[in-house]
Structure 1
């Protein structure tokens, strides 16, 4: 489960590709996804990608049926769909100024999971197909998997930043701050927290004593110390990421009297409305905080390099 939507796009018109890609990126952003495009310009490049990964990373194939100087689109179809032992069944959207040729090839090869569009209508058709392909990840259990996976990655990213800070010019203040935080976590773990035989870099890897909350607070302190990141990072991260993760980690799914899927919290017994708008909002927040942390990570690299 992921926040990225991976598109294999076979198109040889560089200018049209760049302009249209921007429109698609805006569309995916509105749906709470980050669009990643792999652009192939020839049949050979598609074949190279097949040999590399059998096209498994991709959620959709978008293919110009009439590439200049390349074999007809039906050969591309045959290349993608011909391997019966290791079939590639990802949805395909073909576009062309001659849609009938695409439909004729589909009929000849008896293909399924293939959509067609006139080139001038490809933006509208792309949106329709994308909405179809993402429905499978709107279910509660799938969203739970996405949230757990993404928040775990964000946890690792925060830890990476903190490890770098422990080798930076603000090492002492960060280490002192970490020690105060983890000592206050629990009297039960106090001896482990303060153990002199455990280096600070080992302590911050122990999630029992250095939790996600502590990591987010450390990122918050970085802004106070060096104005790197965003103000009140912890407040926002706790509200939008940690709280959401906790909700989805401790809920059960039921269908209410209106036939809607809702989540009931094990801890509070309260109902959480679950719908497409909620999914989009969650994905947008995950992307937002990933972008913030990646930017912070790059800025920390810069200050360490300057002071090296």
Structure 2
């Protein structure tokens, strides 16, 4: 599972107003589900090849059949034969014989025949239906768990980089000094507790222990640094919406009901995945990534 959703759309009328509106509506559809959206467009097969080769992978390919001096089946054959990729494809045309067109591979292709003059709304609805299906695959419970671990770890690295750079910032030495004193006091307290636990030789106490410079220490430092920078203090929300979620799902037990429904058990509580929970997790990660990006940019400036 990832936070970005990449589409490449091949259509010789892509620069016209109706299709510009369509592209924008599809972007909004994905933004409302808290994805970072990137939609590349091409007017023919050759332009598509150039953009596909330079951008790597896409989550969805949308192509018309009739293109400038080329055809949509060339787009599909390039993906399936030259690249050997089973990316989802939405293949449309006013040609009612669309399904009879010879393709290298017909799997994971949605065929849609345009009907009448006002087909754009229906085309949008069909594309959104397919995107919804691809998202539901992303939102499998195990995929979401992997996404949470990956994305929150990246945020933690960025957050730690911000904290360390400001703690060592000579210009902030006077303001940072009391923060460091409290951090040292907290570490000393933790280290003393560690020593006492080790002295007791009780393996259960040791196994439950955390690293000295814990996430809570970093969050405390982040909050203090945000105050010094006169920025909104989002450290507590970061702790609740990023660190807590990551820790919960890192140690959660994956179970399955007799009905086949999967869920996590976290400290005795059953957590079920649905579209709203997935949206909230993506929203929180994106929000805090933007927060950290903003702070990092301000520091560099």
TM-score (ref. length: structure 1): 0.77
Q: Is the 8 Å Cα contact of residues 102 and 116 (structure 1) preserved in structure 2?
A: yes
Q: Is the 8 Å Cα contact of residues 163 and 225 (structure 2) preserved in structure 1?
A: no
SS of the aligned residue for 2:2 comes to coil
**Aligned partner (choices 94, 100, 103) of residue 104 of structure 1:** 100
* Match runs of 1:143-162 below 5 Å: 143-162=144-163
The verdict on how the C-alpha distance between 1:301 and 1:104 changes in structure 2, with shifts beyond 3 A counting, is: same
The verdict on how the C-alpha distance between 1:62 and 1:250 changes in structure 2, with shifts beyond 3 A counting, is: same
* Match runs of 1:222-241 below 5 Å: 222-228=225-231, 230-231=232-233, 233-241=234-242
Shift of 1:102: 3.4
Distance, in Å, in 1 between the alignment partners of 2:181 and 2:42 is 51
Paired residue for 2:90? 93
Considering only CA atoms, is the larger Rg found in Structure 1 or Structure 2? 2
Shift of 1:158: 1.2
Shift of 1:250: 1.1
* RMSD across aligned positions (CA): 2.8
Paired residue for 1:282? 281
Structure 1: segments with no counterpart, 5+ residues: 191-206, 303-308
Paired residue for 1:46? 48
Paired residue for 1:291? 290
* Match runs of 1:1-308 below 5 Å: 1-12=1-12, 13-16=14-17, 18-52=20-54, 55=56, 57-67=57-67, 69-83=68-82, 86-96=83-93, 98-100=94-96, 102-105=98-101, 107=102, 109=104, 111-117=106-112, 118=114, 120=120, 121-165=122-166, 166-167=168-169, 169-174=171-176, 176-178=178-180, 180-181=182-183, 183-185=185-187, 187=189, 189=191, 208-228=211-231, 230-231=232-233, 233-256=234-257, 260-265=261-266, 268-302=267-301
The number of residues matched between the two structures is: 275
Higher relative contact order (CA 8 A, sep 6+): 1
Distance, in Å, in 2 between the alignment partners of 1:95 and 1:241 is 41
Range 86-95 or range 116-125, more displaced: 116-125
Shift of 1:182: 5.1
Q: Is the 8 Å Cα contact of residues 77 and 105 (structure 2) preserved in structure 1?
A: no
Shift of 1:150: 0.6
